[in-house]
Structure 1
Amino acid sequence: MPDSRFWDRSTSPTELDRHALHSRPTRVDVTRHRNLLAFLVLAVLWGASYPAVKAGLAGFPPILFAALRFDLVGLLVLGYVVVSDRRWRPSRTDLPNIVAGATLFIAVHNGLLFVGQDYVTSAVSAIILSTIPVLSAGFARPVFPEERLTPLDVGGILIGLVGVVVIAAPNPRIATTPDLFGVSILLLSAAAFALGGVVTRYLRPVGPRLPLAAYQGWTMLLGGGMLHLGSLALGERQSVDLSVSVVVAFVYLVPFAGALGYLLYFDLLDRLGPVEINLVGYVSPVFAALVGWALLDEPFVATTALGFGVIVVGFLLVKRRAIRAQLVGA
C-alpha cells in the first residue's frame, strides 16, 4: 500500500526528503557493517586455520607442510597483485625488508608454529599467538626510544606472559594440560613474529615502496624457500601421506585461510588501522576452540580460558592509549 504521506498535501517535499534520509542506512553505517563482516570472516578463516594445520600434520612433516603452504599462497597473492595492475617488482631498497620479513614472519614464525601445533590443541595455539601485540611492545622499546614504556606498559607485558604460564602450568587433575615443550615453541613463534614487526619497521625504505600485498607475496615465496631448506637440513621426509582430511586441510589453508585471509587482512589494515586489526588475534581463538572441538574432538579446559583472559588484560594495558584514541575518534 502506498505511503499516505505522499497523498497528504500538508507534507512538504523537504520533510519527505528528511524522512527518507533518516529511514535509510547511511554510507557510514554500510561501511561499518561491511568492516564488521569482513573482520568476523577473517577471524573465522584464521581461527579455523589452527585446526586445519593440526589435521594436516597427520600427513605432512611440519616444516615441509609450512613450506608448501607458503609456496602456493605466495604465488596466489603475488598473482593477484600482478593481475590488479599494481607495482609488484621490488626495488633494491625493498630487498632488506623482504629478506627480514621472509626470515622472521614466514620461516621462523611459521616453522615453529607448525612444529608447536603438533603438541597442543588448536585453541592453545591460537591463544599463545595472541601474545604477539604484547611482545611487540617489549621489542619496540630498545629500537624506537620514542615508544617509552610506562610502568603500566611493563605490567601489561608481564601480565600477558603470566597468561601463557597459566595455560602451560602442569595440573595433575587435568589430563589434557598443554605440553610445555609445545607451548615454549609457540611462544618463540610469537616472539619471532613480534620481532619481525619491529625489524621490518626499522628497515622500511624511505620513499616509494612496494604495496603491502606485493611485499607479503615476496616474503611468502622467499620464506617458503627458506622453509624448504630447513626441512631438508632437519632431515624431514620429503613425502606426504595423503588422506581425505589431509587434502581438505591443505586446500583450506591455501586459497581460503591463506590467499583470501591475507587479502582481507590487507583491506582491513588500510581501513581500520593496526590497532583494530590486532583484535583479530583475540577473536580467532574462539573459532579455533569451536572448530577444534567440533571436528577434532579437542578439549577446552578452564585454565586455557583463564589464561586467555589474562593475556587479553595484558593487551588492553599495553594498547590502552591507542584503543582510547580509536574510541575518541570513532
Structure 2
Amino acid sequence: MPLRDLLLALVVVSTWGFNFVVIQWGLHGLPPLLLGALRFLLVALPAIFFIPRPALAAKYWLAYGVVWGVGQFGFLFTAMKLGMPAGLASVVLQSQAFFTLLFALLFLRETWRWYQLAGLIVAAAGLAIIASSHGKGLSGSAMSLIGFSFTLCGAAGWALGNVLIRHMAKSGIVFKASHLIIWAALPPLAIFSMLTLAIDGPAVVSAALLNISLQSILAVLYLALIATILATSIWNDLLQRHSANLVAPFSLLVPWFGLASSALFLDEKLLPMQWLGALILMLGLVLNVFGARISVGKLKYA
C-alpha cells in the first residue's frame, strides 16, 4: 500500500476512535435510534439535491445503506445506550475485521495469505487481553452482556458493507465513494425514523428534539459530517483500490484511539493490561501490512 493511502487509513481510524466518545455525548440527550436518524438526516440533506446518484444499480446503494447504516450504527448506538462503554465498544467493534475476512472468503472467494492470518491472530490476542480487563471496578469500565452482543452485531454489519464495496470494485463498477455515502444515508434515515417513533414513541421523540442540547447538536454534526461523510468516503475509496483483506485490519487501530480518548474525555480509566493489549494489537497490524515485504525479503535473500 502506498504511503499516501497508509496515512489516509490512519486519519480514518483516529477519527473513528474519537467517534465513540462523541456517540456517548450524543446519547446523553437523545434516544439511540433518534440519534441515528439525525445523523443520517444531516448526511443526506441537503446533499442529495446537489450530488447525483452513484453510477451503480439502486440495489447496491440501498443494500449498502441497510447493512452499513442500520446494521452497524443501529446496533452500536443501542449497545452503548444499554451499557457498552465507549472505550470497550471501540475494541469489540473491531471484530469486524474477522467478519470481513470470513465474508470475503465466503462471498468473494478471496484467499488468505499466511501473514494476514498471522497478523489477525496476533491482533486477536491483543483484543482478548483488552477485553479481559473490563469489569475490574474502574470507572466507566463495566460492560453489559446485551451491549456486548449488540456491538458484535454492529461489527457484522460493518463487515458486510466492506465486502459489498469490494464486490462492486471487483465487478468493475466505478463510482464516487462520496456519492455512495450521501445516497446510502436514505435507507437508514427512513428506517431509524420509523423505528424510533415505534419504539420510543412520538412523545419521547418530540421532547428530545424540543429540548436538544448544544452537546447533542455538536455530536450529530461530528457523526454526520466528519465520521460519516469524510472518513467513510476515504475508507470506501481505499476498499475500491485495495483488497478487503489488506484494508480492513487497519480498523484494528481504532481501539487505540477509542480507549485513549474515552479515558481522557469520559474518565474510562485504562489498565496496564489494556495498554499491553493495544501494543500487541498494533504488532498484529504491522505484521499484516508488511508481511508481504517480509516474504519477498526472505525469498530474495534466501
Band of TM-score, shorter chain? 0.7 to 0.9
**Alpha carbons of structure 1 residues 272 and 147: separation in structure 2 relative to 1, 3 Å:** closer
The CA deviation string for residues 132-177 of structure 1, in whole angstroms up to 9 with x for no partner, is: 1222112333334453698x94995697389358616765565633
Other structure's SS at 1:130 match: helix
Q: CA deviation at 1:265?
A: 3.3
Q: What residue identity is the alignment partner of 1:68?
A: L
Match of 2:300 in 1: none
The within-5 A match list for 1:198-217 is: 198-199=163-164, 201=166, 206-217=171-182
Match of 1:141 in 2: 105
The CA deviation string for residues 266-286 of structure 1, in whole angstroms up to 9 with x for no partner, is: 555567765664354233333
Distance 2:164 2:86 in 1: 28
**Alpha carbons of structure 1 residues 120 and 216: separation in structure 2 relative to 1, 3 Å:** same
The within-5 A match list for 1:13-24 is: none
Q: Does 1:66 align with 2:21?
A: no
Q: Does 1:186 align with 2:156?
A: no
Q: How many residues align?
A: 288
Other structure's SS at 1:283 match: helix
Distance 2:21 2:172 in 1: 41
Q: Contact between 1:160 and 1:315, CA under 8 Å: does it hold in 2?
A: no
Match of 1:7 in 2: none
Match of 1:120 in 2: 84
**Alpha carbons of structure 1 residues 168 and 57: separation in structure 2 relative to 1, 3 Å:** farther
Q: CA deviation at 1:296?
A: 2.2
* Residue from 13, 28, 44 that aligns with 2:14: 44
Q: Does 1:296 align with 2:261?
A: no
Report the TM-score, using the length of structure 2 for normalisation. Answer: 0.75
Q: Does 1:254 align with 2:224?
A: yes
Other structure's SS at 2:102 match: helix
Distance 1:97 1:205 in 2: 14
Match of 1:104 in 2: 67
Gapped regions of structure 1 (runs ≥ 5): 1-30, 83-87
Q: What residue identity is the alignment partner of 2:191?
A: M
Q: CA deviation at 1:68?
A: 1.2
Match of 1:95 in 2: 58
**Alpha carbons of structure 1 residues 212 and 324: separation in structure 2 relative to 1, 3 Å:** same
Match of 1:23 in 2: none
Match of 1:228 in 2: 193
Q: Contact between 2:122 and 2:281, CA under 8 Å: does it hold in 1?
A: no
Distance 2:292 2:15 in 1: 28
Q: Contact between 1:130 and 1:311, CA under 8 Å: does it hold in 2?
A: no
Match of 2:23 in 1: 53
Q: What residue identity is the alignment partner of 2:59?
A: P
Distance 2:132 2:145 in 1: 6
Match of 1:160 in 2: 124
**Alpha carbons of structure 1 residues 48 and 261: separation in structure 2 relative to 1, 3 Å:** same
Report percent identity of matched pairs: 23
The CA deviation string for residues 104-147 of structure 1, in whole angstroms up to 9 with x for no partner, is: 11112110011112323322111112221222112333334453
**Alpha carbons of structure 1 residues 36 and 157: separation in structure 2 relative to 1, 3 Å:** closer
Other structure's SS at 1:238 match: helix
The within-5 A match list for 1:273-292 is: 274=244, 277-292=247-262
**Alpha carbons of structure 1 residues 49 and 205: separation in structure 2 relative to 1, 3 Å:** same
**Alpha carbons of structure 1 residues 161 and 189: separation in structure 2 relative to 1, 3 Å:** farther
Distance 1:202 1:260 in 2: 22
Distance 2:270 2:179 in 1: 38
Q: Contact between 2:126 and 2:279, CA under 8 Å: does it hold in 1?
A: no
Other structure's SS at 2:205 match: coil
Q: What residue identity is the alignment partner of 2:198?
A: A
Report the TM-score, using the length of structure 1 for normalisation. Answer: 0.70
Distance 2:113 2:238 in 1: 28
Gapped regions of structure 2 (runs ≥ 5): 297-302
Distance 1:314 1:284 in 2: 13
